[in-house]
């Protein structure tokens, strides 16, 4: 068996065997297969696709390229969540403590943001002192004792994916459904939870721009997880406009705190209640989504959800004063974006808003870019709302970097109509 024959086989559109896929993944992880051959393999996969069985074997080979976390010593039901990436997506900051406040074990490893999408770790690090680095044993201990931990992915887990994703990023092979599915699911399966919920974003600010492709991806990931004996839910959600109002690290943490206190945006609250309800069903706490939503809302009203977030921040070294007093967060100077005309807002391009926020310093153009936690954008109006010419559409928070360019770009994100526009947040659910 050799890499050239496997590349040719996939180039010609033939299905690979489990052994052939493992040969490629193991060889590349160990450095025995060079970048140029793996690049050819990835490009062949991009053009020729993979069967569901091939994608499952690819996922498992990537999973077994590193350490698989064993959470079995933790009593209780363990859950995990992943988002395919969006703008203003601070869902994990709300969902994790909300669900954990009911005794479910939320063991989450998150990533950093790149490009126009934000990362959960960057947002958490906006809280002074918050430590996202923890060894596996401490991670397990924390989940065991307070039901929740959110940390960065360790070097030992899914070694193949780290190498392969870096290569995909520079070879134009990122938007491949089997490669996306195996990348996400190999990491999620390695984290060891009993149930996984996936927030699959669809629209201008997402990797999946249309619902048909997003549904294919969701179904594939659900099937992989089910075959690996995990309870799986994929919720397809609208990312044609940003989630919530805030885009930018400190700004999003503040909005998450407000949501846990019952004062959050309607769409963010709705999404967290939907995702949380399915996790409660999988954990056996409730029998229906309606029952789950009622229970989760009660946790917000009685203060248990925000209390669990405070407990998480304290356990990982963060200054909890920031949670009690969000005004402590440093924010940049403000510039208001005014509406150029009157009418109903028919579109707010998520990608454009995310790009503007990145230019201000809230996101990374490369993995080495430094983050400015104090900058970003806060929307004043959402799609479907009426705005008068000269009224404030959004507030830009800046420290001087690319302020004028960000303003100009943000202005181009808006479209108007004479009639109201309906927005649907939850597009589909695959279970």
Euclidean distance between CA atoms 214 and 226, whole angstroms = 18
Angle at 206 between CA 205 and CA 207, to 5 degrees: 135
Phi–psi pair at 175, nearest 5 degrees: -80, 60
The structure tokens 């721009």 sit at: 209
79: helix, strand or coil? strand
Q: How many Cα atoms sit within 13 Å of 219 on the Cβ side?
A: 9
For residue 175, give the DSSP letter.
S
> Residue 254's Cα: distance from chain center in Å?
18
DSSP string for 128-168: TT------HHHHHHHHHHHSEEEEEPPTTS-HHHHHHHHHH
Which tokens is 130 given? 């918050």
Angle at 256 between CA 251 and CA 259, to 5 degrees: 130
16: helix, strand or coil? coil
- What contacts 308, CB < 8 A, 6 or more positions away? 97, 98, 100, 101, 146, 147, 148
For residue 208, give the DSSP letter.
B
Which one, of 233, 229, 223, lies nearest residue 196 by Cα? Answer: 233
Which tokens is 191 given? 């984290």
Helices (H), ranges, 18-149? 18-29, 35-48, 52-63, 91-100, 120-124, 136-146
Catalytic residues: 82, 161, 168, 183, 187
Q: What is the DSSP pairing of strand 333-338 with strand 343-348?
A: unpaired
């Amino acid at each position: 068996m050799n890499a050239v024959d496997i590349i040719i086989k996939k180039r010609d559109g033939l299905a690979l065997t489990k052994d052939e896929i493992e040969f490629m993944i193991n060889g590349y992880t160990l450095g025995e297969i060079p970048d140029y051959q793996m690049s050819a393999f990835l490009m062949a996969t991009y053009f020729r696709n993979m069967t569901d069985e091939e994608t499952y074997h690819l996922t498992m080979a990537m999973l077994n390229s590193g350490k698989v976390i064993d959470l079995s010593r933790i009593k209780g039901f363990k859950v995990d969540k992943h988002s395919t990436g969006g703008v203003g997506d601070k869902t994990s900051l709300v969902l994790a403590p909300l669900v954990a406040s009911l005794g479910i074990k939320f063991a989450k490893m998150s990533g950093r943001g790149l490009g126009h999408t934000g990362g959960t770790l960057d947002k958490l690090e906006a809280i002074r002192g918050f430590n996202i680095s923890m060894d596996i044993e401490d991670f397990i201990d924390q989940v065991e004792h307070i039901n929740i931990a959110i940390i960065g992915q360790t070097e030992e887990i899914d070694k193949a994916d780290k190498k392969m994703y870096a290569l995909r990023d520079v070879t134009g092979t990122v938007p491949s459904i089997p490669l996306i599915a195996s990348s996400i699911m190999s990491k999620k399966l390695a984290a060891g939870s009993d149930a996984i919920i996936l927030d699959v974003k669809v629209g201008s600010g997402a990797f999946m721009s249309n619902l048909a492709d997003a549904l294919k991806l969701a179904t594939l990931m659900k099937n992989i997880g089910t075959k690996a004996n995990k309870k799986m839910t994929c919720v397809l959600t609208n990312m044609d406009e940003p989630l919530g109002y805030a885009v930018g690290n400190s700004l999003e943490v503040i909005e998450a705190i407000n949501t846990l206190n019952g004062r959050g945006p309607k769409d963010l609250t709705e999404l967290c209640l939907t995702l949380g309800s399915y996790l409660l069903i999988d954990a056996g706490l409730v029998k229906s989504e309606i029952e789950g939503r009622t229970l989760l809302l009660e946790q917000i009203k009685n203060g248990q959800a925000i209390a669990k977030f405070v407990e998480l921040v304290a356990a990982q070294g963060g200054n909890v004063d920031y949670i009690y007093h969000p005004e402590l967060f440093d924010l940049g100077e403000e510039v208001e974006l005014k509406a150029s005309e009157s009418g109903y807002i028919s579109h707010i391009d998520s990608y454009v808003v995310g790009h503007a926020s990145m230019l201000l310093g809230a996101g990374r153009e490369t993995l080495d870019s430094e983050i400015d936690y104090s900058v970003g954008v806060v929307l004043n109006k959402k799609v479907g709302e009426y705005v008068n010419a000269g009224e404030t559409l959004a507030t830009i928070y800046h420290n001087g970097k690319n302020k004028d360019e960000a303003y100009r770009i943000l202005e181009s994100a808006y479209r108007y109509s004479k009639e109201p526009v309906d927005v649907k947040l939850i597009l589909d659910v695959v279970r």
